[in-house]
Structure formats: structure tokens, C-alpha cells
Amino acid sequence: MKKAILIIFSMFLFISCNKANKEDSTVRYTQDSDEISTLKTVIQNYEKGEWDQYRSHFSDTVKMYYNSREAMNIDAVVAMHQENNAALSSYEFPDAKDEFEMVVTDADETWVNFWGEWQGTIAENDSTVYIPVHITARFEDGKIVEEHLYFDNSGITQALTKLEETRTKAQDSLK
């Protein structure tokens, strides 16, 4: 009887340890995942101005925070991108400087982080602007449900200020 109890206890202990090991084998950090591939595609859609494809990677209720605590919806973000990029002859994230990672938090949320540099050329004067960018996006069921984008706008602000000064000087010289 003691042997039977000891055998049953040993099997229970073995099964419990195996289950714990399987739970601990969940990938909590990686630089290669479906979610990372999705965020790379989102960035490519942005670069090409493929706005319908861009939208398709976000949930209908996505909350997007762009240098702000105020959430925007996907339609407002697409409109903002289109307006901001209208004065540019080109814009991109040069791939050589991109870094991606995916983490699964203790709360079992899946986040993908991106660090890169945005590069844009102002059409009117051909000046090139470089802006460091960080994006972090939370995924559920393969879709982005929350996105935070942080960037330093000072480079574009300086370039547009310089452009305006050039315009003013040109107008003054015509007088």
C-alpha cells in the first residue's frame, strides 16, 4: 500500500513538474515573430502610401497615441500621415538602422517595439530631415489594438522654419 501511494505521489510530482516546464517554455522575448513581420509590413505600407493595406493590420477599435496621451483612431492617423507627407517628395525608414523586438509581459500582453530613423525630403527645397522614431504596438489575435509612436519633431520644424525664411527673403527681394 505504501509503495502504491509512493508511486502515485511520484507520478503526480512528475506530471506537475512537466506541466510547469511547458508553461515556462513560452517565448517571452524574440526578434523574429509573426507580430514583428506584421509591424514591418505596416511600416512598408506607410512608406508606399498603401493606406487600405495599412489599415488592415489594426483592429477596428485600435487606440493610437502619437506623441500624446490622447488616443486617435485609425482614420485620423491615416489623414494625419497623408497631410504631413503631402509636402514631401519622399519619405522612408532606411532599413539598415531598424531594430525590432517582441516581448510578452507578465500580464500576457504581446508588444512589438521598433526603433528606427525616419527620413523625409521636403519637396520645395530638397532638404532632407532625419527623425529618430520609437513605435510600440500591442497585438491581440494578429491585429494591433494599441500603438504608441514617439518621435522628435524638432528636425522637421527647423527645416520648415528655414523654408519659410527662404520664402520671405524671396518675396522681400521682389518688392
- 3-class DSSP assignment, residue 94: coil
> Which tens digit of pLDDT belongs to each residue from 91-107?
999 987 789 999 999 99
8 A C-beta contact, residue 166 and residue 149: no
pLDDT along the chain (175 residues), means of 10: 61 57 73 96 97 98 97 97 93 89 97 96 91 97 98 83 75 72
Q: Topology of domain 27-163, per CATH?
A: Nuclear Transport Factor 2; Chain: A, (3.10.450)
CA distance 90 to 32: 29
pLDDT at position 15: 64
Helix segments in the chain, DSSP class H: 2-24, 34-48, 51-55, 74-85, 154-174
8 A C-beta contact, residue 110 and residue 140: yes
pLDDT at position 159: 79
pLDDT at position 133: 96
Which cell is 123 given? Answer: 519637396
pLDDT at position 18: 54
